[in-house]
Structure 1
């Protein structure tokens, strides 16, 4: 009979369906196992990465700490050096400020002194003008030598200083021409004077230097003066004077002639050799 066979056929269909249903379950198991493996690998990689990163970070932190410590040490040395420099500069600044204050005070005092000198000079000029005008009204003052001095210098040089006074009745300056001559027993040596003329209206100061001729020893000094229509002549004996203790060693130490007035104690010419230990020579007016 065919019916039993049909029953067997109908029973085989469910078995085919059961096999079809179980196949996807195996695939899902493999997927789950693969996912779990990936997760484990990721966890292991994460742990290893964390440990490696931690060690690297720790090493980097240690290096940075060393660098920071070295930098702090260098910075401390720099701060100490900068502080020392700052103290030095502050000391120099204080000294400079003190020197500036002293200089300003000296400058102020100097300006005051200069102003006082200007006032004094104006007063003296006014007094001199008054006296010369008064003398001129009274007939003037004749040409005369007020002071005379010849001083020895190094290198066989001599310095002459003559103070001459004159007031012309016209109350006008006159041209003064001096002439200086050295005399021995038989010879005369005229000393070249520079400048060779002066303007005189009151007092004229004749200053200059000359070299003594070699092997010439003067016995007398003659000074001749001419101003306007007046003439005068003075002759001085060349004599030994007092020793000179403060003689300069060279002419460079005294580059200019002494412009001070000849005092009453030095109113006779003085001359000598450059040796400071030898006595000076003086002259007496005749």
Structure 2
């Protein structure tokens, strides 16, 4: 009996299954990669956008901070300048104060010497019979707007230290016209010396020839001085409206 191979005529017996492709085999892996790629892209964009906003916000805050710091620097510079000026003014004030103190002390010393000498002279005059009441000095200073200021010095040295008591009249004379000068205080009461001061407004167009001082005391006295006009004072220490008007008086 011989072996004999029998060939089959069925076509299904000769069909071989095809091998799966790379895409089919790794489709899940590829899908996962795509998902990861998309997610990473979205995440990166989101993080980058936020980081960009943070950087923009930081720049704005930094600029504002720079402006605040600059303002503080400017303010500090102004304060330093004011401080330096104040220090300089203080130094000048201290220097002026020291100078004024020195002058004041010197003036006090000079005044003390003058008072001592005056006291000596008065004592000598008393021992020699004294000095009767007299007009020691008269000065008239012109002011703006036809106003004038007078300064009248009276002196008396009595052997028994009695008071000089009485009143004063000041008259302006032009020919037969006489004007009485209003006085703030026409009365006097002193021992050795007294100064009377005041102001008046001269009538327009009136120019006196003489100024007379009438001393009404224990011994009446009349002193006449020639009228001399000096230069006007630019800065008046009082309002001219407060200066009384001279009154006309018949002689």
TM tier, shorter chain?
Answer: 0.5 to 0.7
Note the alpha carbon deviations across 1:185-222, whole angstroms, 9 max, x for none.
43433323221122333332232222334665544332
Q: 1:216 to 1:64 in 2, by over 3 A?
A: closer
Report the Cα distance in structure 1 between the residues aligned to 2:137 and 2:102, rounded to whole angstroms.
Answer: 33
Q: Deviations over 1:3-37 (max 9, x none)?
A: xxxxxxxxxxxxxxxxxxxxxxxxxxxxxxxxxx9
Which of 46, 64, 74 aligns to 1:84? It is 74
Partner Cα separation in structure 2 for residue 124 and residue 42 of structure 1: 119
**Structure 1 residues 152 and 70: CA distance shift in structure 2, 3 A:** closer
Runs of at least 5 residues in structure 1 that lack an aligned partner in the other structure:
1-36, 257-286
Match status 1:103 vs 2:93: yes
* CA 214–86 in structure 1, closer or farther in 2 if over 3 Å, else same: closer
Q: Secondary structure at the match of 2:114?
A: helix
2:150 maps to 1:167: no
**Structure 2: unaligned runs, 5 residues or longer:** 1-27, 240-251
CA offsets, 1:139-165, max 9 Å, x none?
211222332233433333333333232
Give the CA RMSD over aligned residues: 3.5
Equivalent pair of 1:164/1:203 in contact (CA under 8 Å): yes
Q: How many equivalent residue pairs?
A: 212
Q: Give the match for residue 247 of structure 1.
A: 232
Corresponding position of 1:236? 225
TM-score (norm 2): 0.67
Aligned equivalent of 1:27: none
Higher helix share: 1
Distance 1:198 1:222 in 2: 17
- Secondary structure (helix, strand or coil) at the match of 2:220 reads strand
In the other structure, the counterpart of 2:143 is: 153
- 2:51 is matched with 61
| TM superposition score normalised by structure 1 | 0.60
Distance 2:181 2:164 in 1: 23
**Equivalent residues in 2 for 1:1-286 (5 A)?**
51-213=41-203, 216-227=206-217, 229-238=218-227, 241=228, 244=230, 246-248=231-233, 253-255=236-238
Q: CA 1:49–1:255 in structure 2 vs 1: closer, same or farther (change >3 Å)?
A: same
Structure 2 residue aligned with 1:259: none
